[in-house]
Structure 1
Amino acid sequence: ALESGELSPGGVVTEGSAGSTAISLATVAPAFGCKCHVVIPDDAAIEKSQILEALGATVERVRPVSITHRDHYVNIAKRRALEANELAAKDKKVGQVDGKDRDQMDGCVPDPEKENPGFLSHYNGGFFADQFENLANFRAHYEGTGPEIWEQTDGNVDAFVAAAGTGGTVAGVSTFLQEKSPKIKCFLIDPPGSGLFNKVTRGVMYTKEEAEGRRLKNPFDTITEGIGINRLTKNFMMAKLDGAFQGTDKEAVEMS
């Protein structure tokens, strides 16, 4: 993003995340002179917010709503980046006004912080990382995690199993491993309520919990966070999978 100019030094990286991506961004962004603003569902573990804040990120907790709602945490994160860019543009425009003109404006110079009290204005623009649809997610695991697994196992890999939220991990790793050896089997493990298991095994994003009269207020009837989804992402569509399993909360707790 810095190389392409989409993110400027001193800018803020925004992301909507209930998983590990936010923690990674909050760790890396300061190394490049940038800040991190994370929007997270308020039903996510409070410890995640505490870790993010300890890393220097600003955290905005919002109520869970459908991805089609403008106030879904991902959509808010995207909006925060746009707001940061608008505020930076206003600051630049105001900064181009000389002292005489500023006096003539008689206090009419806009105050971005007052106009957007919920979002800091001193960032040099914003960049929405877009972990669900940005294929840099897939490439990070295709170029990093996959080769790491291959090297550390000396190529002795029979199968790979992973859950999916954005789909970047399972897609990047499965693609890399199957390019190394078509004999390697790659599988998805999906939590209760997610539609990915059905998509992989039956070709449709549908779960019995979503049948008329059976849908829960919160369709993800699971304690796991950051995995499971009922829509296809660009990253997940890159996955090379041989099948899928459904996992239970009990199994997740035992593994942890």
Structure 2
Amino acid sequence: MLLKRRILLLLSMVGVLALLAGCTQINQPITAESEGFWNTYIVYPLSQLITYVARMTNNNFGLAIIIVTILIRLLILPLMIKQMKSTKAMQAIQPEMQKLREKYSSKDQKTQQKLQQETMALMQKHGVNPLAGCFPIIIQMPILIGFYHAIMRTREIAEHSFLWFDLGERDPYFILPILAGVFTFIQQKLMMAGNAQQNPQMAMMLWLMPIMIVVFAINFPAALSLYWVVGNLFMIAQTFLIKGPDMRTAKQEAAAEGKKSGGKKK
């Protein structure tokens, strides 16, 4: 039930942002004369930031996209840390929540109400907010979607090249789309940290998201693929730094458990 609420909340916010972004034509260049809150306060400032950094790097718009992507990821890093901590807290109480689901397995209304009451009491006991992991994502969305619009609608970007590709055209060798998909998979795998086996929906998303990214990246300008590649690389490094100690501890515990099991068999 709580998972459904989180999913519905996220889908609602995506819908609102899609409607907001849809009020502007993606193929319409962004300029100082572009009207509307979305254009004036989000897309145009980000476009100007990319252009300013490009000017500082001898009109290298590819390098400018990389630098601004990293700057934005650093800006929202505190939100990502908060999101990960919330996810970790939810994972820690999953065994107790599973016991409650088994205890109140009946589907009648009275039992389900009791299950919800017990679940909320458990969360309050451990100081867990089931929606805390959603709010950082919600705050990030306007920034990331606005950056996407800034890349797509800044005319100067399409007029420049970087490495082996033209920023305004698709990657001719499909290297960036493949890298974007691979890095998306790795990043999600690290975030899930073994929970995909416990949740079929998470296991499905582990494969679905990278495939979608590859399909989109193949059909969009290489500038956007570059943004996805750099963003996901940053998130992989970020996940290692934040979750690294926990991942090492989990591996050590698993190894110790394996040794105990091996010793018992002997």
- TM superposition score normalised by structure 1: 0.22
Which structure has greater strand proportion? Answer: 1
Highest relative contact order (Cα 8 Å, sep 6+), 1 or 2?
2
- TM superposition score normalised by structure 2: 0.22
Which structure has greater helix proportion? Answer: 2
